[in-house]
Structure 1
Amino acid sequence: MPSIDRRSGGPDVNHQNRAPAVDTRTVCAKLVSTVKTGGLKEVIALSIDKPVTIGRNPAACSFVIPDAVVSSVHCKLYAVHSSTGGIIVSCQDFSTNGLILNGHRVRRTSVILMDGDIIQIPSSKTFQCVHIWKEPREKNTIFDPTPPTHPSHKVRIGNYVVTSHCLGTGGFATVHLAMDKVASRQVACKTIGLKKDAERETVMKEVKILLAMDHPNISKILDVEEDGKFLYVHIFLELCTGGDLFTYISSHKLKSGRLCEGEAKYIMYQIFKGLKYLHDKMISHRDLKPENVLLYTPGPYPRIQIADFGLARPKAYEKTFTACGTVMYLPPEGILALHDKRLGYVAMPLDCWSAGVIIGAHPFDRGPADPEQSEISTRSEQIIKDRIVHGDVDFAHEIWGGMGHAKALVSRLLIHSHEHRATVGAALQSYWIACDAEELERAYAERVLAG
């Protein structure tokens, strides 16, 4: 039940929304009504992983609005940790008449609420979103405000309004929040700067791969726009509002130690299904890791999407001599190819190895080489490389003692020789998956395929 904060004294104007006091230290965001009711402003307090349901039905909702225009269950608010150190506040609409976000109507979709956004139930209440926990930002000078001010800007690109709200950055691209005015939904805009024609060819290769794919566990491309001078390519993607798998796993470690085996299995089942779809099309991702697996919406047992196809390779059955990817998730042949450009490897078994590392939760990394150094140093990275090449897998008994079938699958995915390594098809037929196949398929149909 959310905390409803009355900003001034006087009578409680909405008895059905009364809630017990909460520890204000756990409140990471709040929605503040823009209009006073009975001389009071209502505040809906949000805490991490404690959803708030808004609607007309008091039996189903934690915040009740008894207006006729409000649906029985109108929308659901959720707050989760972001990979940048702040939070992601999302709102999923279930209503018949939708929501209005910053003047744009959205329907039957999930949106991200940034700090300062205005969200309205049409002809009913209006709230402003306030982020209390904010990502750390560096000050350029001692005279800069704390935190620094970053006013939001917008630009029109095709049918989309792209905002300056940044969802993520990489070496070659930035991802911004955008609004699809035609489809009444938020989207992600991945903008890639181009310096020469060769870079454009590389970017358009990623676009071509994504355009050819249609799978519920693969990031879906919606549109592509290029500016007149070909300085930028804008890739518009289906928006995921639950953050990434790495942050999701990390937040669980802080609370309860690790994901339960059932949820881990459900997530890996989806990853395997996405990879199976790719490999059937002879495409390899080549950088599969939790940071590149997104949660479609927040909450337990999430639907996931494999994202970031910048390193993906078609014709993945052919040997490649271009080593790439993230060291922690590379197989032995990939590590060797990093140091000897004459050595090639086949890309699809690389994805299978990476999936095994995800299940195994970094079985080659036993912590930094220098216990007084928290970041992975060059020395500790080399130790990890040596462990990968020499097959030094660590299965801690306190974790794996009661999960023999999962351990057996990980062992098959982490076989040194790529020719004998388990394929994605074999992983889906493994006993760890097969013993719960009926339940997994039912959950997948209800939670993923049904939308």
Structure 2
Amino acid sequence: MDTTVNPNSTLEGQSQEDIPLTQKSSQFSQSLRSIHIRSIVAQDWFSVQKEREVYAVLYPMAQGLHHIELSTPLFGFGRNPKLSEAYNFTSLSDHHLRSSISGRHCHIERDALGITYLHDTSRFGTFINEKLVGKDSPCRLLNGDLISLCDPKFYAFIYVETKVSNDEFPAELSNEYLVSNLVIGKGAMSKVYIGKKRTNTSIAVAIKVIPKKHEIVGSNEEKRSTSEAIKREVQIMLSVKHPNCVRLEQLYESDSMAYIVMEYIEGGELYKRIIANENKGNGLGEEVTKFYAWQIFSALDYLHKNGIVHRDIKPENVLLLTKDTFTVAKLTDFGLSCMKDHSLTTFCGTQCYMAPEVWTNESYDSKVDIWSFGAVIFSSLSGYPPFSESYEDLKLKDQIVRGRLIYYKVWKHISTTAREFVRLCLKVDVKNRLSAEQALSHEWFNDPIAEKAKRVVQSYAD
């Protein structure tokens, strides 16, 4: 209880004139102290109000999490965080993941200078933009940082400061989407960020950012600006409606940049699965390869029948929906795609996956995609590419135009039917090469695994 003193008050029965000077001095000092106390109380009140002001919001990236307004100097996370202001993850739908979260997993601290730090106190780790913070090691949090718990790929929250605007992106985009600082992909000229819709909890998106003022030179027959290429990519993606092709959501533009918002595919690239350490350099094997191959041929059959040639099929452009093995596979990156309403002669694509007719500057058609995906299947079955600059006996172009294939001992574990199927996809003579429709009818897909792929895709599409 605060004590206040009236400087004009007197002892009972005494006038001001009757009070000794020393007593008057004492009362005056007491009055000054009272004023000082009231001043401190007021300062503390304003300080508390300032502390309670929301300085940042954590937007959820996972199912079952809630958005959190940060307004206190300390905020804890964990199953038993033991802080007055904390989040305990009781609503997290992934119960296995929740059991991996430590009792006192991490906490966020806001210092007197307005700088925010994340402190990791967990057993299995806390990550900022997929980088491990390190136990008992504070790491500064910046506007747009992505926080993960236990697994760098388990995105829990995007940290967004209330008084910091993201001028890097157009206002129209920022009003609809939150863009994180995490770059999940890079191209020759583009970057892909992970973000989320503001209005949908845990709906992640991929945002591809492309500079517009460049010229792409393909050959003497085809020169175009990136602006034209972007418009073509968007036009094609808007026309594509297939469960095994990545879906476009929105396009935003500034004077110098284009921003393509697409569905986010969390399972990553097929390439990374093929080279994963657990495969010991032997690829994915026949069963898993067939499961993905049926899906991509289904996409190619759809594209080709709708007059679209992809022209840049490679393991990096096949994305997997989830981290599960038997998941939906999707084609992405339609940046080099085109409508086959005219003769195609442009030298483009990724060289070790380019068909012979592209190397020899002949006109070509949709079967260039069959060759490219045949090379992907070869790599997935065996763990090594069919054609490579590292093979020193022949130049890459000669390997491809001759259709020279090297079979190492891993192929002893691959069925004769699978080997024959790959050879039919990698026929140098286009007339003898399979179409996508013929590939789907091949006996290699007359198999329970192909039926399983159909069911998984159908369930996803529904």
Structural RMSD (CA): 3.8
Is 1:236 matched up with 2:261? yes
Unaligned segments of structure 2, at least 5 residues: 1-74, 103-123, 133-140, 154-163, 215-223
Percent identity of equivalent pairs: 27
Report the CA distance shift for 1:223/1:404 in structure 2 as closer, same or farther (over 3 A).
same
Match of 2:390 among 357, 363, 368: 368
Q: What residue number does 2:24 align with?
A: none
Aligned counterparts, 1:119-268, within 5 A? 131=152, 155=169, 156-158=171-173, 159-184=176-201, 185-195=203-213, 198-227=225-254, 230-251=255-276, 254-255=279-280, 257-268=282-293
After TM superposition, give the deviation of residue 183 of structure 1 in Å. Answer: 3.6
Q: What residue number does 2:371 align with?
A: 353
Unaligned segments of structure 1, at least 5 residues: 1-31, 45-52, 66-78, 80-85, 90-101, 103-113, 119-127, 133-150, 338-343, 371-379
Match of 2:424 among 393, 404, 412: 412
Would you say how many aligned residue pairs link Structure 1 and Structure 2? Answer: 321
Q: Supply the distance in 1 between the matched residues of 2:95 and 2:188 (Cα, whole angstroms).
A: 47
Is 1:388 matched up with 2:400? yes
Q: Is the contact made by 1:329 and 1:354 (CA closer than 8 Å) also made in structure 2?
A: yes
After TM superposition, give the deviation of residue 438 of structure 1 in Å. Answer: 3.5
In the alignment, residue 80 of structure 2 is paired with which amino acid? T
Q: Is the contact made by 2:292 and 2:453 (CA closer than 8 Å) also made in structure 1?
A: no
Q: Supply the distance in 2 between the matched residues of 1:162 and 1:39 (Cα, whole angstroms).
A: 32
Q: Supply the distance in 2 between the matched residues of 1:38 and 1:191 (Cα, whole angstroms).
A: 39
Match of 1:287 among 303, 312, 316: 312
Q: Deviations for 1:345-385, whole angstroms, at most 9, x for unmatched residues?
A: 22311000011111111553378246xxxxxxxxx8x6222
Match of 2:455 among 437, 442, 445: 442
Q: What residue number does 1:17 align with?
A: none
Q: Deviations for 1:265-318, whole angstroms, at most 9, x for unmatched residues?
A: 1100111111111111110100000001111111211211101111001126x4
Q: What residue number does 1:332 align with?
A: 356
In the alignment, residue 168 of structure 1 is paired with which amino acid? G
Report the CA distance shift for 1:206/1:88 in structure 2 as closer, same or farther (over 3 A).
farther
Q: Deviations for 1:181-207, whole angstroms, at most 9, x for unmatched residues?
A: 134422111111111694322210110
Larger CA Rg, structure 1 vs 2: 2
After TM superposition, give the deviation of residue 129 of structure 1 in Å. Answer: 6.3
In the alignment, residue 313 of structure 1 is paired with which amino acid? C
Report the CA distance shift for 1:280/1:87 in structure 2 as closer, same or farther (over 3 A).
farther
Q: Is the contact made by 2:212 and 2:227 (CA closer than 8 Å) also made in structure 1?
A: yes
Q: Supply the distance in 2 between the matched residues of 1:179 and 1:56 (Cα, whole angstroms).
A: 19
Q: Deviations for 1:67-102, whole angstroms, at most 9, x for unmatched residues?
A: xxxxxxxxxxxx9xxxxxx9699xxxxxxxxxxxx9
Structure holding more helix per residue: 2
Report the CA distance shift for 1:88/1:354 in structure 2 as closer, same or farther (over 3 A).
farther
In the alignment, residue 336 of structure 1 is paired with which amino acid? T
Q: Supply the distance in 1 between the matched residues of 2:310 and 2:264 (Cα, whole angstroms).
A: 20
